[in-house]
Structure 1
Amino acid sequence: MKYGVFVCLFFFILILASCNNDDNGPAIESVPPRLLTEVAPENDEEIQEFLKTHFYNYEEFATPPVDFDFKIQIDTIAGDNADKKSLWEDIEMKTINLSSSDLGLEDEEENVEHKYYYLIARSGESGNSPTIGDSTLLRYQGSLLDGTLFDENPSFTWQELPFTIRGYANGISNITSGTPEQIIQNEDGTINISDSGIGLIVIPSGLAYYNNTGPSGSIPQYAPLLFKIEVGLFVEDTDNDNDGIPTILEDVDGDGNFNNDNADSEAELAAGFFLPNFRDTDDDGDGTLTRDEIVIDDEGNVTFPDADNDGTPDYLDPDTN
């Protein structure tokens, strides 16, 4: 009820303001989002320029001095640092194809290549990396390429990677974690993990917030982002909705985007909500829980019965239950 009153009041004020406008008043113009095919190459050029003109404290990571804190420090290659090896020489690159619909844009651009970059300063000793669907214990710092800090968590915290921005999750999936045996309890109640994996991620805006300004409103539109990451531990085969299927297997179309896999999207949208499979305990909406339409053996392996042999497993097929 209060919402309806608010809406009516809003439109009344809007109409009143428009009536009081004279012809000399400034016109408010809505600027549509830019095209992915324009922004992606611009971002990549900016990222490459940054990587080729900056270095990190690789010498300290190679031969750690006493009391080294194992924090990545970045500086410009100039002056006394003119002979330093650039980030570009150690960086790795991967690509993700992105469509405008992935960002909720109206333009019909498809499969626009976006490059993200990552650097491993120290590998974790467990030899395993989280998937983009896993719950991960980490520390992080996020900044713009000019060093402006917009987010930081100096203490280890659990993050559900499917709920983070796409480039961030993909970047983290390249860093190996530490092991529980190497957890060190500090006097202040915090922990360190002596064999954690430490790395750097640089992502274009299409894999971040694009034309939005981020949760805090402190990120410029179309800005590439840099993250310093320390991966402590992760939960292998995380199951976010506890339906028996690891989240990484809920990406049915295999495009790396969990949010566009929804077996009962039409019914949910008609009812006024939208739960992708990785957040839905009844993926096909047939009234039978997903857990009851799959088979999990004693070792935790999952198989997907198809009772009517139509090529769609039961848990995604509302015709079977």
Structure 2
Amino acid sequence: MQLRKVVLAMTVIVFVLSCGNDDGPGFELIPPQLLSDVVVEDEAALQAYLQTHFYNYEEFENPPADFDFQVVLDTIAGVNIDKRPLLQDVQSLTIEVSSEDFSLDDNETVPHTLYYLIAREGAGGMPTSADSTYIRYEGSLLNGTLFDATSDYTWQYLPFFLRGYSQAVSKFKVGDAIVENPDGTTEITNAGVGVVFIPSGLAYFNGSSNGIPSYSPLIFKITTGLYIPDTDYDGDGIPSILEDLNGDGDVTNDNTDAEREAAIRSPAFPNHLDPDDDEDGILTRDEIIIDAQGNITFPDDDNDGIPNYLDRDS
């Protein structure tokens, strides 16, 4: 699964049109579709899928001795005509998406709904959308085409992945222990298992990657093994999730010193990747106080309501 920001740079599809010799080569720029239009199409497609497919819930409810706790999706038809549709098992999460997230100038903010199925609830803690998580996944299109998968668990810093994916993972608990098998291999016990169904506006939207066409809703089967609580990716002393200043669950759009970075022609770094969040030359770690128990205090020396680490004037 590629980083979202790489894919979002691909915002225009160019088609070469045949032209007469006098006209020279011609091009037609196809503008991106509106978020508000695509979300309706995606919701219809997801609803249709959830109504016509089921998962192997009977095995999860009464696990056979050799059950591997892997989700299997299938169509409700033939011998499976009486199966319970996914729509009865999924939960939903609605997230506001801005056209600016995809470098569009339509000034739209549109609610998008993703769906997630918890087939087995993990016995451990629950990561946030800004934590590093030890996870196994398989990604596919609604038609079943597989576009990505991991053969085993891998560490993912969730903000580096699709917004819908990272926010959905935060709804799953992880496992409770790492045990060693008689053959010397290890496994994570009681890991969370489930599926996530994501509209394109919470994925690649008008971009494409690894065989994923533009405007494609996506399915991810996931197994959540472990996570690092209070992940602090940039090492500035503040857990990444606390650098979500606007509270939308997405730390990639919180950048306190964006104007200053632009002024000095520096690359733009959101706060969760920036060890100096206000670009004042003093590291964030040196503008906060962390006690022996790990509690963080945010001094505000000039009492202007802005803590020192976000205030260039303090």
Would the TM-score normalized by the shorter structure come out above 0.5?
Answer: yes
2:244 partner amino acid: D
**Across the two proteins, how many residue pairs are aligned to each other?**
296
TM-superposed deviation, 1:253? 1.2
Q: 1:285 to 1:208 in 2, by over 3 A?
A: same
- Identify, as 1 or 2, the structure richer in helix: 1
Moved more, 60-69 or 223-232: 60-69
CA distance in 2, matches of 1:35, 1:184: 51
Instruction: Report the equivalent of 2:89.
Output: 90
Instruction: Report the equivalent of 1:278.
Output: 272
Q: Is the contact made by 1:184 and 1:194 (CA closer than 8 Å) also made in structure 2?
A: no
Cα-Cα RMSD: 1.8
CA distance in 1, matches of 2:267, 2:138: 33
SS at match of 2:44: helix
1:308 and 2:307 are equivalent in the alignment = no
Instruction: Report the equivalent of 2:157.
Output: 160
Q: Is the contact made by 2:129 and 2:250 (CA closer than 8 Å) also made in structure 1?
A: no
Q: 1:50 to 1:184 in 2, by over 3 A?
A: farther
Instruction: Report the equivalent of 1:11.
Output: none
Instruction: Report the equivalent of 2:70.
Output: 71
Q: Runs (4+) of structure 1 moved beyond 2 Å?
A: 23-27, 181-189
Aligned residues with identical type, % of pairs: 53
TM-superposed deviation, 1:269? 2.1
Q: Note the 1:167-246 alignment, pairs <5 A.
A: 167-179=164-176, 181-184=177-180, 187=183, 191-214=186-209, 216=210, 218-246=211-239
Q: Is the contact made by 1:166 and 1:207 (CA closer than 8 Å) also made in structure 2?
A: yes
CA distance in 2, matches of 1:183, 1:201: 27
1:252 aligned residue (229, 245, 251): 245
Residue-by-residue CA offset, 1:80-120 (whole Å, 9 max, x unaligned): 0000001001110110011101222121112x010000000
1:129 aligned residue (119, 126, 129): 126
In structure 2, the gaps of 5 or more residues are 1-18
SS at match of 1:28: strand
SS at match of 1:168: helix
Normalising to structure 1: TM-score of the pair? 0.89
CA distance in 2, matches of 1:275, 1:21: 48
TM-superposed deviation, 1:177? 0.5
Q: Note the 1:36-75 alignment, pairs <5 A.
A: 36-75=35-74
CA distance in 2, matches of 1:203, 1:136: 19
TM-superposed deviation, 1:258? 1.4
Instruction: Report the equivalent of 2:4.
Output: none
TM-superposed deviation, 1:147? 0.7
